Each structure stands twice: as structure tokens, then as C-alpha cells.
């Protein structure tokens, strides 16, 4: 079971002020696979994702216990460079979030921050990442237009390209398809399956069906606790826990 | 009398009040512009006031106004915007924030005559700058500071938080986030605040008369005393020097303020039209 | 290098913020240092309640000015506040879009016009009007009240309107769903809910009225006597400073700064009150 572990979460507990949002969670995330973290609202999934790239540092009143090891290194150590961590662990949010600038500048945002300023190099990055996100053909003639002018699905794929442009190792997606139509959703799921060749993907799906479609492994969380974790086939056909079974069959949620 | 009658009476009352206010404003503007506009010609704008302002134009007061105003805004803007960024981005609502905000709001309420007293004793006397463009500008810069802080802070807070999160998640530092995302998004609002401050400087009389003086000659440097248009207008009217020229100067002031408001509003509208969500 | 720049930028912003607020400290210190010795000389009670202001004889009592400031401010509030609140309700609840788009910039313009222009208009229109139709010298408490009432309108209107618009939509929808008429909703639900904002608007309006100088100088007559009617001329705290600062020196100038201290304290109390009320929510 110890093969290729990218992220190891050990006994993680997470609090907003007094309130416990994640309770003693341990989970291994393997490289080059899609892990779906599943569960009803307020299960602590968003918080878990935000803990993995330390975006939760921005929130007031946060405290946590336990360890998150990325390639064996605790990301909460003093000597960890947070910006470098966030470059390695990219994130796509639950609503499309283009920055108020052009399509091109949105993708160039990350690379430019790292002194990677050659116009030629950035041009190449923009093209290759837009191709990976299956958006290049849609936008190649209007890269200078504001990103806001794209449709919701296109915006979300732009956000994926933007993350890819940082050349990350892990990509976190927090319900990336929640506001999208089925066609856009299908396109994003398709790219995810291709992307796992190169990246480790942690996806909070917006419903059970999405998890069953795209995941290699599934983790089911409820009220801040990890209930069950395993291979897609195992969890969906032979759930070990009654709560998991009830959730995936739609008895609650 | 039933509730529908109440409704009708109340509605009539409110409409009357609103239309009355509009009418009063229109009346004041027309009253002054009708007599002032005919006085405005090329000579009035380009000639120096002669004979205490009885004849000649207002050119030196225009120059004085522009010098005092631009200098005041240039001095105040870095402090105002810096304070706004500190309040909006670097503090988490602790007691420091509360103290700064209390001070800023208190500054906003201080009457301009008190700014005049302070500017007179501090810049004119204590720092030995005398009645001068620079004394007037420094005094006004303190006076417009709260406006700048408040409008900029509002503009910065109006920038959706998700932009900051996205920027951080793309591995930007705080400084990079502020410079590349927050500042450009807040710029229209900040610009609006700056333009309104320009308007306040141009309109101010009490604080300027005590610090920049009322000399009518063309200011030769920032250390020369000068008379701004508002002060000139006040002296012409109060001392009954020339009603005709007073009306002309008043019309000029109103036109300037009107233009400033128009420019400020286009900035706000662009801000809204840009479709900044959430 | 990167962390250094991060820390540096934070410190620069803090430095700018601290220098901005140090302005308040500077103002307080310099006004007090200039004015306090004279108050100590004359005595607080004699200064504030003294009936005679005669700098040439060394008599410094500002009670008539305090009465003057209070009376013109009270007049401005009585005339301006009801109209202002009606306008705010109009803007927030009744105004058709087109009229609102005309009204808001008009209020802005009203706020931006130099106070001396209002004073001038008062001098050539309101003052003769009062003299001809109501009697007295025209230069009077009433004239100043009218001008100040117009001048505080933008403050009262915009802050009240903002506090009405800030209410959750459910208040209004809930009330209307209970079968209340629009006016009942405004009177029984919206206005009580927006009360603290409206009160703050009134207090800030009062602050503006007390602090206004140039417009008041032009219409108030500036006599240092206790008024007996609203048609009498008075002198306010601000106009006392504005008129005499130009030529005062020595003790006389100190007395004007002392007047400034009194004004400053009144304003600070009003400001703190307004801030307290808005924050209490």
C-alpha cells in the first residue's frame, strides 16, 4: 500500500476558533491518480483542500493539529516556502474565478510571478496549457479579450489552464463543475482523466455520480471525519460502512 | 381617513420634499450662473486682477488654485492610499484598526476653520513657511486625508475576496497580490476619491485664507503667498469690491466643480460597468 | 529577498497609516498649546459663560457665540433634517430610475459647491428677502439657518439613504407579505430598522452646521450679543475665528485658538457619538 504516496495526511484536526471542522483525519493521496473526496455540505472537504495548499492561512481564527506531508516533508514546517508550496499544489475554485484581466494575462499570471518573463516562453506556456484544458481552439484568436467575456464553462477551463501554467505537481479542484452545464462538465472531466498522467488530482465532486465517473480512489467524509476510503470499485459496489452506503444510494445528503 | 389616504398623503409629502430640494439647487445654480456666465470671457480668464479685483481678470487666482490643489493632492494621496491599504489588507479588525479608523473619522468631522487654525500655527508660524502655496497645500492635504482614506478603503474592500484567494493560490505573495490584482481593481474607486478631494480643495476657503494668504500677484514659487479662486470670490463679495466679478468667479467655481463631479461619476460608472461580481 | 520585500511593504503601509493619524494628534496638541493658556488665565467658567467679547479691553467671554452656534445649528436641523430624510426615503423607495439618476449627482453637486457660494447666494437673496418681508436687519439666525439647512442636506440624505438601502430585502418583503401598504412598511419597519444610521446622519449634519464658517460669516451678522429673536444677528464660534483671525495677535489670537478648542471639543463629542451609534449595530 505504500507505493507512490504523494501526500500523506496524518491525524489532521482542524478548528475554526472552537469549532472542530476536521476531526483526526488520516489519508494517503497517491501520485498520478484522481482522488475524489466525497460528502454532503459542511463535511470539511473544502477546508481539507484549503489546508493542502495552506490557503486556510488567510482565514482568521484557524488552528490545526497533525501533519500534512508532501513528498515526505511537512508543509507546516517553519522552513517551508508557502508561495513555492502553492505553486506545487494548484487550486481550482468552486466558481469560475478569472481575474479581471485578459485571457492571456490570466494564464501568464503565475509564470510571471516567478521571474519567468520571456514573452516567447510565456506564449508557449499559454498555448500548451490552453490545449491541455481543451480551450485553445475556442480562444486562440481572442487572447487579449477580458477573461470575463468567456462563458462559465470556458472560464473554468481557463482557471485549469492557469493552474497548469505554474507547472504544479498536485491539482486541487473544489466542486469545479457546480455551476456548469453537462457539456462543460463532460469536457472538464475528460481533461482530468488525461491530466492524471502527469499530475496528482484531488477532486471534490459536486455529486456522487461525478465521483463514480472520474475517480480512481474515493474518500467519504461526514461531519469532519473520514468514514471510508478505498478504490472506486470497492467503495461504490461494496461500501464497508452503512453511512457510505446510505450516502451513495441517496438516502441522505 | 383610511390607510390608502395616509399612503397618498405621505407619498405626496415625500415627492414634494424631493422636488423642492431639486428646485432649490436649480434656483441657486441658475441665479448665479445667469449673472456670472456673461462675465466669463477670455480676458477674465487670462488677465491678472487689477485694482483689488475691481477690474481685470482672475488669472493669478486660477494659477494659485491649481498650485495649491495639485500640491495638496500630491502630498495627501500616498498617505491616504497607504492608510487605506493598511486598514483593508494588513489589519484584522484589532484595536489598531479601530484607533486608526476613529482618528480618520474624527479628522473627517473637524471643521475647516480648525484646519485653518492648525495650518496657520503649525505650517505658517512653527515651521516658518509663511503664508504660501506650500502652507495652504499642506493644510489642505491634512484636510482631504480622511476623504481619501475612506473612499480608497471602500474601493479596496469592494474588490471581491476571491481575487485575493486566486492570486495567493497561484503562488503570489501578499505584495504581488496587492500590486497586481487588488490595486488595479480598486483603481476606479480610488480615482473617484482623488477627484472628489480635488473638488474639496478648490471649494475650500476658511482653511486656505489663513494659510495661503490673499496676495493677488501671480505666485512665482511654492513659497509665494497666493489667493485661490474661492478666497478671491469671498473677498470680492464680502468687501463689496465688485459684484460683477464676484458672480463671474462664482460661475467659474461652479463650472469647475460640475466638471469634477462629471469626471468622478464616469469613473464610478466604469467601475460598475466592469462587472465586478460578488 | 522576497520576504524582505514583503515585510518592508507591510511596514511602509503601517508607517503611512501612523503618519496619517498623527495629524489628529498634531492638530490637537497645537490648538491646545495655543489656546489653553488663555483659558487658564481667564478661567474656564468665565471664558465659556462670559457675556462680553472685547479683545481690546482684554475681555474674552464666548457665551454669546455658543448661543449663536447652537441657535443657527438648531434652526438648520429643524429646517433641513425632515426634508433630508424625506429625500432619502424618496431616493431609496419611491424615485423612478430616471429621476434617481438625476437626483444623486445633483446631491453630489450640492455637496461639492463651495460654501462661499451658498453664503453669497444667502447674502444677495435670502437676507434681503428676510429684511423686506419679515423685518429686522436680514442678517440673522434665520438666514444662517436656511443656508446651513441646505448645506447639511447632502450629508443627511446620503448617509440616511445608505442606511436604508443597507437593510436586508427580507424586511421589506416580509412586511409587504403581511399585507402592509408601502407607506406602513416604510414607517413601521424600514425607518425603525434604519434608525441608527439616520441618527448618525443627523449628528454628522449637526457637526457640519456647527463647523461651517465662511457661508455663515456672510449671512449671520456677527453681532456679539445674546439674540432675542430669530431675526437678530448673532456670531458663532466659527465666525468669531474667521472674522478676527486675519488681524489678531498676542492674547487676542490665543483667545481665538481657545474658541477653536471649544469648537474642537464639541465636534469630537459629536463625532464620537455618531461613530458609537453606527458601530453599536
Distance, CA of A160 to CA of A120 (rounded, Å): 21
Instruction: Supply the DSSP string of C38-71, one letter for each residue.
Output: HHHHH-HHHHHH---EEGGGTEE--HHHHHHHHH
Q: Is residue C44 part of a domain?
A: no
E strand residue ranges, B21-175: 49-50, 55-56
CB contact at 8 A, A175 and A206: yes
Bridge-based pairing of strands A73-74 and B49-50 is: unpaired
Interface of A with B in 55-94 (CB under 8 A): 55, 58, 60, 83-84, 86-87, 90-91, 93
Segment C174-188 mean pLDDT: 90
CB contact at 8 A, B261 and B50: no
Whether residue C267 and residue B109 make contact (CB cut-off 8 A), yes or no, is yes
Whether A110 and chain B come into contact, CB under 8 Å, resolves to yes
| Positions of chain A with pLDDT under 70 | 1-3, 116-117
Rounded percentage of chain B residues whose pLDDT exceeds 70: 96
Q: Is residue C46 part of a domain?
A: no
Between B6 and B31, where is the model more confident? B31
> The dihedral of CA C128, C130, C132, C137: what is its sign?
negative
CB contact at 8 A, A151 and A102: no
Whether residue C9 and residue B107 make contact (CB cut-off 8 A), yes or no, is no
Q: Which three cell numbers stand for residue A227?
A: 468514514
Span C116-157, pLDDT tens digits: 999 999 999 999 999 999 988 999 999 999 999 999 999 999
What is the interface pTM, i.e. ipTM, of the complex? 0.92
A and B: number of Cβ contacts within 8 A: 58
CA nearest neighbour of B18 among C160, C208, C115, C125: C160
Mutant choice from B167, B169, B172, B176 vs A, greatest count of A C-beta within 10 A = B169
Instruction: Supply the DSSP string of chain A, one letter for each residue.
Output: --TTEEEEEEEEEEEETTEEEEEEEEEEEETTSEEEEE-STTSSHHHHHHHHTTGGGGSTTEEEEEEEEETTEETTSTT--HHHHHHHEEEE-SS----SSBHHHHHHHHHHHTT---HHHHHHHHHHHHHHTT-HHHHTT-TTSBGGGS-HHHHHHHHHHHHHTT--SEEEEESTTTT--HHHHHHHHHHHHHHTTTSEEEEE-SSHHHHHHH-SEEEEEETTEEEEEEEHHHHHHS-SSHHHHHHHTTS--
Q: Which three cell numbers stand for residue B80?
A: 491616504
Distance, CA of C48 to CA of C61 (rounded, Å): 6
CB contact at 8 A, C229 and C71: no
CB contact at 8 A, A25 and A11: yes
Whether B58 and chain A come into contact, CB under 8 Å, resolves to no
Q: Which residues contact A57 (CB under 8 A, 6 or more apart)?
A: A82
CB contact at 8 A, B253 and B229: yes
Domain ranges of chain B: 3-38, 40-273
Cβ–Cβ contacts within 10 Å for residue C209, how many? 28
Min Cα separation B81/chain C (Å) = 9
Segment B174-186 mean pLDDT: 93
Q: Which residues pair with A15 in a beta bridge?
A: A20, A63
Q: Which residues contact A180 (CB under 8 A, 6 or more apart)?
A: A152, A153, A156, A188
Whether C207 and chain B come into contact, CB under 8 Å, resolves to yes
Q: What is the pTM of this model?
A: 0.89
Distance, CA of B157 to CA of B90 (rounded, Å): 12
Mutant choice from B6, B8, B12, B18 vs C, greatest count of C C-beta within 10 A = B18
CA nearest neighbour of A230 among A28, A11, A9: A28
Tell me the chain B residues in contact with residue A97 when contact means C-beta distances shorter than 8 Å: 162-163, 165-166
Residue C247 structural domain: 53-280
Span C195-244, pLDDT tens digits: 999 999 999 999 999 999 999 999 999 888 899 999 999 999 999 999 99
Whether C54 and chain B come into contact, CB under 8 Å, resolves to no
Whether residue C242 and residue B113 make contact (CB cut-off 8 A), yes or no, is yes
CA nearest neighbour of C263 among C232, C244, C242, C248: C242
pLDDT score at B204:
95
Whether residue C108 and residue B265 make contact (CB cut-off 8 A), yes or no, is yes
CA nearest neighbour of A27 among A54, A57, A53, A1: A1
Whether residue B114 and residue C263 make contact (CB cut-off 8 A), yes or no, is yes
Mutant choice from B31, B111, B202, B205 vs C, greatest count of C C-beta within 10 A = B111
Span B73-126, pLDDT tens digits: 999 999 999 999 999 998 877 788 888 888 988 999 999 999 999 999 999 999
C-alpha distances in Å from residue C217, one per residue of B140, C139, C199: 21, 10, 28
Tell me the chain B residues in contact with residue C242 when contact means C-beta distances shorter than 8 Å: 113, 206
CATH number at residue C199: 1.10.3720.10
Tell me the chain B residues in contact with residue C153 when contact means C-beta distances shorter than 8 Å: 21
Distance, CA of B43 to CA of B248 (rounded, Å): 12
Q: Which residues contact A47 (CB under 8 A, 6 or more apart)?
A: A14, A21, A22, A56
pLDDT score at C144:
97
CB contact at 8 A, A53 and A91: yes
Distance, CA of C106 to CA of C84 (rounded, Å): 14
CB contact at 8 A, B237 and B243: yes
What is the residue whose three cell numbers read 484567494? B165
CB contact at 8 A, A251 and A222: no
Q: How far apart are the first and last CA of chain B?
A: 46
pLDDT score at C4:
80
Whether residue B169 and residue A162 make contact (CB cut-off 8 A), yes or no, is no
A150 CB-contact burial (10 Å; exposed 0-12 / middle 13-18 / buried 19+): buried
For B237, the closest chain C residue by CA position comes to C120
pLDDT score at B229:
95
- Please name each of the domains of chain A with its CATH number: 5-248 (3.40.50.300)
Segment B137-150 mean pLDDT: 95
Tell me the chain B residues in contact with residue C10 when contact means C-beta distances shorter than 8 Å: 90, 174
Whether residue A100 and residue B180 make contact (CB cut-off 8 A), yes or no, is no
pLDDT score at C133:
94
Distance, CA of C278 to CA of B98 (rounded, Å): 13
Whether C243 and chain B come into contact, CB under 8 Å, resolves to no
Please name the fold of domain B40-273: MetI-like fold (1.10.3720)
For C183, the closest chain B residue by CA position comes to B7
Q: Which three cell numbers stand for residue A59?
A: 482565514
Whether residue B17 and residue C87 make contact (CB cut-off 8 A), yes or no, is yes
Distance, CA of C214 to CA of A116 (rounded, Å): 59
B and C: number of Cβ contacts within 8 A: 239
Q: Is residue C34 part of a domain?
A: no
Distance, CA of C181 to CA of C185 (rounded, Å): 6
Rounded percentage of chain C residues whose pLDDT exceeds 70: 99
Min Cα separation A127/chain B (Å) = 18
Q: Which of C17, C242, C267 sits opposite B100 (nearest CB)?
A: C17
Whether B170 and chain A come into contact, CB under 8 Å, resolves to yes
Tell me the chain B residues in contact with residue C6 when contact means C-beta distances shorter than 8 Å: 173-175
Tell me the chain B residues in contact with residue C204 when contact means C-beta distances shorter than 8 Å: 109
Whether residue A97 and residue B163 make contact (CB cut-off 8 A), yes or no, is yes
pLDDT score at A187:
87
b/e map A120-148, b = 16+ CB within 10 Å: eebeebbeebbebbbbbebbeeebeebbb
Distance, CA of A96 to CA of A88 (rounded, Å): 21
Whether residue B22 and residue C102 make contact (CB cut-off 8 A), yes or no, is yes
Whether residue C270 and residue B109 make contact (CB cut-off 8 A), yes or no, is yes
pLDDT score at A49:
94
Mutant choice from A106, A113, A158 vs B, greatest count of B C-beta within 10 A = A113
Chains that touch C (3 or more CB pairs under 8 A): B
Segment C45-68 mean pLDDT: 93
Span B215-224, pLDDT tens digits: 999 999 999 9
pLDDT score at B1:
61
Amino acid at each position: 500500500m505504500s507505493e507512490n504516496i504523494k501526500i500523506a495526511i496524518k491525524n489532521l484536526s482542524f478548528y475554526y476558533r472552537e469549532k472542530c471542522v476536521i476531526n483526526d483525519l488520516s489519508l494517503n493521496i497517491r501520485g498520478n491518480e484522481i482522488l475524489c473526496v466525497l460528502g454532503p455540505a459542511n463535511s470539511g472537504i473544502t477546508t481539507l483542500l484549503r489546508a493542502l495548499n495552506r490557503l486556510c492561512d488567510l482565514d482568521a481564527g484557524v488552528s490545526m493539529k497533525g501533519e500534512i506531508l508532501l513528498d515526505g516533508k511537512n508543509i507546516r514546517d517553519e522552513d517551508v516556502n508557502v508561495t513555492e508550496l502553492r505553486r506545487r499544489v494548484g487550486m481550482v475554485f468552486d466558481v469560475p474565478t478569472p481575474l479581471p484581466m485578459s485571457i492571456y494575462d490570466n494564464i501568464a499570471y503565475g509564470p510571471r510571478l516567478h521571474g519567468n518573463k520571456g514573452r516567447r516562453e510565456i506564449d508557449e506556456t499559454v498555448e500548451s496549457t490552453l490545449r491541455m484544458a481543451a480551450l485553445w481552439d475556442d480562444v486562440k484568436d481572442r487572447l487579449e479579450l477580458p477573461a470575463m467575456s468567456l462563458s462559465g464553462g470556458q472560464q473554468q477551463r481557463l482557471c485549469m489552464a492557469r493552474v497548469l501554467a505554474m507547472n504544479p505537481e498536485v491539482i486541487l479542484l473544489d466542486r469545479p463543475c457546480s455551476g456548469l452545464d453537462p457539456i462543460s462538465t463532460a469536457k472538464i472531466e475528460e481533461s482530468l482523466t488525461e491530466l492524471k498522467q502527469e499530475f496528482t488530482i484531488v477532486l471534490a465532486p459536486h455529486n456522487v455520480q461525478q465521483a463514480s465517473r472520474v475517480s480512481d480512489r474515493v474518500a467519504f467524509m461526514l461531519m469532519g471525519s473520514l468514514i471510508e476510503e478505498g478504490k472506486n470499485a470497492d467503495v461504490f459496489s461494496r461500501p464497508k460502512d452503512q453511512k457510505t452506503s446510505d450516502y451513495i444510494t441517496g438516502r441522505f445528503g | 381617513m383610511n390607510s390608502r389616504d395616509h399612503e397618498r398623503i405621505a407619498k405626496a409629502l415625500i415627492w414634494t420634499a424631493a422636488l423642492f430640494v431639486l428646485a432649490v439647487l436649480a434656483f441657486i445654480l441658475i441665479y448665479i450662473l445667469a449673472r456670472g456666465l456673461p462675465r466669463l470671457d477670455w480676458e477674465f480668464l487670462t488677465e491678472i486682477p487689477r485694482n483689488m479685483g475691481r477690474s481685470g481678470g482672475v488669472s493669478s487666482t486660477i494659477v494659485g488654485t491649481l498650485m495649491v490643489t495639485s500640491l495638496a493632492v500630491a502630498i495627501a494621496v500616498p498617505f491616504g492610499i497607504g492608510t487605506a491599504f493598511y486598514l483593508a489588507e494588513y489589519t484584522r479588525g484589532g484595536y489598531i484598526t479601530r484607533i486608526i479608523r476613529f482618528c480618520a473619522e474624527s479628522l473627517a468631522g473637524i471643521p475647516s476653520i480648525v484646519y485653518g487654525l492648525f495650518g496657520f500655527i503649525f505650517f505658517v508660524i512653527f515651521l516658518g513657511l509663511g503664508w504660501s502655496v506650500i502652507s495652504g497645500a499642506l493644510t489642505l492635504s491634512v484636510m482631504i486625508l480622511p476623504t481619501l482614506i475612506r473612499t480608497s478603503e471602500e474601493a479596496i474592500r469592494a474588490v471581491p475576496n476571491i481575487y485575493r484567494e486566486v492570486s495567493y493560490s497561484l503562488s503570489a505573495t501578499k505584495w504581488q497580490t496587492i500590486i497586481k490584482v487588488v490595486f488595479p481593481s480598486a483603481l476606479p474607486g480610488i480615482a473617484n476619491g482623488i477627484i472628489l478631494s480635488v473638488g474639496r480643495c478648490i471649494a475650500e476657503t476658511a482653511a486656505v485664507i489663513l494659510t495661503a494668504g490673499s496676495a493677488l500677484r501671480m505666485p512665482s514659487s511654492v513659497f509665494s503667498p497666493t489667493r485661490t479662486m474661492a478666497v478671491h470670490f469671498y473677498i470680492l463679495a464680502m468687501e463689496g469690491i465688485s459684484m460683477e466679478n464676484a458672480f463671474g468667479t462664482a460661475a467659474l467655481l461652479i463650472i469647475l466643480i460640475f466638471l469634477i463631479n462629471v469626471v468622478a461619476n464616469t469613473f464610478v460608472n466604469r467601475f460598475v460597468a466592469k462587472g465586478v461580481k460578488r | 529577498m522576497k520576504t524582505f520585500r514583503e515585510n518592508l511593504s507591510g511596514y511602509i503601509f503601517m508607517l503611512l497609516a501612523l503618519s496619517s493619524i498623527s495629524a489628529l494628534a498634531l492638530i490637537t496638541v497645537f490648538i491646545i498649546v495655543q489656546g489653553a493658556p488663555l483659558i487658564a488665565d481667564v478661567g474656564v467658567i468665565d471664558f465659556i459663560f462670559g457675556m462680553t467679547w472685547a479683545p481690546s479691553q482684554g475681555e474674552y467671554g464666548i457665551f454669546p457665540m455658543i448661543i449663536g452656534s447652537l441657535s443657527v445649528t438648531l434652526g438648520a436641523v429643524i429646517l433641513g433634517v425632515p426634508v433630508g430624510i424625506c429625500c432619502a426615503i424618496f431616493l431609496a423607495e419611491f424615485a423612478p430610475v430616471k429621476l434617481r439618476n438625476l437626483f444623486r449627482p445633483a446631491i453630489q453637486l450640492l455637496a461639492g459647491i463651495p460654501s462661499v457660494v451658498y453664503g453669497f447666494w444667502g447674502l444677495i437673496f435670502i437676507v434681503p428677502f428676510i429684511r423686506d418681508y419679515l423685518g429686522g436687519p436680514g442678517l440673522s439666525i434665520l438666514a444662517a439657518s436656511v443656508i446651513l439647512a441646505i448645506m447639511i442636506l447632502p450629508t443627511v440624505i446620503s448617509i440616511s439613504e445608505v442606511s436604508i438601502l443597507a437593510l436586508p430585502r427580507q424586511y421589506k418583503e416580509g412586511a409587504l407579505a403581511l399585507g402592509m401598504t408601502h407607506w406602513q412598511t416604510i414607517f413601521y419597519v424600514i425607518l425603525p430598522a434604519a434608525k441608527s444610521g439616520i441618527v448618525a446622519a443627523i449628528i454628522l449634519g449637526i457637526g457640519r452646521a456647527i463647523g461651517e464658517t465662511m457661508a455663515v460669516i456672510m449671512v449671520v451678522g456677527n453681532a456679539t450679543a445674546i439674540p432675542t429673536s430669530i431675526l437678530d444677528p448673532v456670531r458663532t464660534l466659527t465666525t468669531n475665528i474667521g472674522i478676527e483671525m486675519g488681524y489678531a495677535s498676542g492674547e487676542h489670537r490665543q483667545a481665538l485658538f481657545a474658541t477653536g478648542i471649544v469648537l474642537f471639543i464639541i465636534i469630537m463629542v459629536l463625532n464620537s457619538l455618531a461613530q458609537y451609534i453606527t458601530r453599536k449595530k
